[in-house]
Structure 1
Amino acid sequence: MTGTIEYTRNGLLSVTTEQAGRKEEPSLLAVDPLATRTSELSSADIIRGLAELDGRYSRDELEDTLLETLDLPADAAADLVADLIEAGFLRPADRHGDPTASWEATGWRAALEYHEYVRDYPFIDEAVENSEYEDVEGMETEIMQEYRAREEPPAIYKDYDVDERIELPPIEEAERVTVANALSTSLFGRADSTRDALDARTLSAILYFAFGETGKLQTEHQGPKLRKPVPSGGARHPTEGYVAVFEAMDLPAGIYHYSVRDHALERLPTDTDLEKPLLWGIDSDPAALIGCTSVVERSMWRYREPRTYRVLLHDLGHVLETLRIAARAFGLSTMAGFKFDDAYLEEFFGVDHAEEPLLAYAALSADP
């Protein structure tokens, strides 16, 4: 015997208005990320009726509630319930209840909205049949040609015009560490340092393996791309590195940008006092702090759909894990952090939160 179907309100519905250049009153729109669609509402009373629905209701109970709330005739209430169900404003509740409720109750509504918006977001098929290009690098398509015709790809390097630049020791001078040794000493989580101080040679190797350039790839319609020790979606490499040096044997304390082009530290002019910021979960006294930002336009230019924001985080993960493995291989304790005062640390490193948000940091510690 089939039980009575119960319904819950779609908790992700958001309501907005849109003038759309018309002279009459703006349209009232309900945006539903679960169904990836937007519906025009005939009356604000619908929103008032939905606001009264907080729980699980049978179809009869829905009709009774809307009949009373909106003072509707019985047949009109029944029609409205049918329309709301068809539009996805009311959703069947399974035995576990509204699967989105726990997200909203725990403060994850914004994350859920993004998750649902991109869950079935259509991909752009960039494979063009009978392309005039035949080699692997010629897989750039007519779409890429259109992008390039409108604007040039973002720069693959970020450079600062600074007065002080410190050339880092060549990577060939770094200690020889085998892959097996690096992985065997890179235990999960934090491990105690076996090195009594941070020096330029060690920092040079760590930055190179996480951010450094190993070569270039020239493409037909996307311009040059960098090759690096870490993988990156589409070779966009949006993750950029900054370093706050607090204590190092042969490096002056200061805030720096790591120049991929020159394998050098560019000392940033900043009004921020060089004090070790409060870092949640870091109980050691770091010798240096590596800030990982994302130059979002590098990925935006190539991948013009919102799902790609996930790839920025995948890229960051590759860099952080490489930082951890390299630091441990050279005897340093390291911990990554994601919980911090965004505004303070973005000012600390001198980056703009919209163009280049700070996503994480890695604290490097030595035990004197």
Structure 2
Amino acid sequence: MRAKVAEHAALFYQGGTVVWDDYLHHRQFAISETAELLCRKFTEFTDVEALLAPLDQADRSALRKVLDELVEAGVLILEGSAAHDAETRMLAGWSGWGASARHFHFASRTLAAAPYQTSDEHDAVLDAKLALHPPPAPFRSVGGGEAVPLPPMPDEPDWGARGVLDVLLARRTTRAFGPGALPLDRVGELLGVLGAPSPAKSRIGRTGTVYKTSPSGGGRHPVELYAHATDVDGLAPGWYHYDGLAHALEPLGERWTPGRLAEAAGDQEWVGLAPLVVAYTAVLERTRWRYDTSRAYRVVQMDVGHLSQTAYLVATAMGFGIGFTAALRDELVEQALGCDAYHEVVLGMSAVGLLPE
């Protein structure tokens, strides 16, 4: 009999205990020190009898019992078994992205028997939370320097007259921009459509839900907007935070060169040459307050996709070029924006500018 440690799991330490995390089957349980040490002998398929042969009868019997328990628990898999076949197929599909990607996917994948709450049950849970912990605010100001008020949003902007299908068919990713500055009113309208509350439903719900132009899981809208102005009329160059409730830009005191912008965007020069770069982050607690399962992190990623598409369509309707990228050096962006990576994560950037002639 040959066995090896299953590769669809991970070990972590919690409260002095070694925990086996089988993310494929959503099982977690403590394992003993003896079991942990035995696992190190089975990093690849190993003959059990050959491993136990040098030991005396008592030790062989004791370790055989532990090994049988590990096989039964799925910590060890036997060569040629159904579990071996299933793992081989899983690794063939996911090995190219590494262990962390498959861990995230399968740990947040719902199984057939996963329980879901009814609307009434979920509302009852939220009511209980409200009694103990208020929801995080859906909008925020970062303070600091004097905010730059943006021009008021027009009721009927001229770019809004273009038909939806026309804009959808015209939408392209632009990686080259024409010379010239962007007008501040258009920048304000773009940010307002993306991040301000919808005028018709501007009330913030009792659980912190808010209506915007893009969908968000549970109405949580965890995504924060930051803008780096390189060439925007009437706006000093540098990084700003967009305060969606005040419709204003708050200066962060950091100005990047085109080279620095490109470096943060995975050395993509076209990002550094854009007159405006919009960075997207997510305040995780907004979503986590309502949804305390790991799958909600998938929803956060979807939220920035919805928002990026809205940015594409609005910029296209305005006659601008725009391109989104998630190929970032997150740490550089975090440092410029003052993000705590444990609570506010960097998601992507949109570069915006005039279309090339």
- The TM-score, its normalising length taken from structure 2, stands at 0.82
Counterpart-to-counterpart distance in 2, 1:191 and 1:13 = 41
Give the aligned partner of residue 155 of structure 1. Answer: 137
Matched position secondary structure for 1:38: strand
Over 3 Å counting, the alpha-carbon distance change for 1:191 and 1:28 in structure 2 is: closer
Counterpart-to-counterpart distance in 1, 2:166 and 2:345 = 34
Give the aligned partner of residue 118 of structure 1. Answer: 108
Give the aligned partner of residue 252 of structure 1. Answer: 236
Matched position secondary structure for 2:108: helix
Which deviations, in whole Å up to 9, do the C-alpha atoms of 1:134-157 show, x marking residues without a partner?
xxxxxx622111100111111121
- 2:49 is aligned with what amino acid? D
Give the aligned partner of residue 21 of structure 2. Answer: 31
**After superposition, where does 1:295-334 map in structure 2 within 5 Å?**
295-334=283-322
Counterpart-to-counterpart distance in 2, 1:160 and 1:28 = 40
1:180 Cα deviation from its structure 2 partner: 2.3
Matched position secondary structure for 1:158: coil
Unaligned runs of 5+ in 1: 20-25, 130-139
> Would you say the 8 A contact 1:195–1:332 is kept in 2?
no
Matched position secondary structure for 1:155: coil
Matched position secondary structure for 2:344: coil
Q: Is 2:264 the partner of 1:274?
A: no
Higher helix share: 2
Give the aligned partner of residue 42 of structure 2. Answer: 53
> Would you say the 8 A contact 1:49–1:70 is kept in 2?
no
Over 3 Å counting, the alpha-carbon distance change for 1:287 and 1:18 in structure 2 is: closer
- 1:364 is aligned with what amino acid? V
Unaligned runs of 5+ in 2: 78-82
Over 3 Å counting, the alpha-carbon distance change for 1:195 and 1:209 in structure 2 is: farther
Matched position secondary structure for 1:100: helix
Over 3 Å counting, the alpha-carbon distance change for 1:71 and 1:237 in structure 2 is: farther
Q: Is 2:189 the partner of 1:198?
A: no
Give the aligned partner of residue 226 of structure 2. Answer: 242
Counterpart-to-counterpart distance in 2, 1:70 and 1:203 = 75
Over 3 Å counting, the alpha-carbon distance change for 1:190 and 1:265 in structure 2 is: same
1:106 Cα deviation from its structure 2 partner: 4.4
Counterpart-to-counterpart distance in 2, 1:205 and 1:11 = 50
Give the aligned partner of residue 7 of structure 2. Answer: 11
> How many residues align structurally?
337
Over the aligned positions, Cα root-mean-square deviation in angstroms equals: 3.1
Over 3 Å counting, the alpha-carbon distance change for 1:102 and 1:65 in structure 2 is: farther
Counterpart-to-counterpart distance in 1, 2:49 and 2:294 = 40
Give the aligned partner of residue 151 of structure 2. Answer: 168
Give the aligned partner of residue 22 of structure 1. Answer: none
Counterpart-to-counterpart distance in 1, 2:129 and 2:38 = 46
> Would you say the 8 A contact 2:223–2:281 is kept in 1?
yes
Give the aligned partner of residue 23 of structure 1. Answer: none
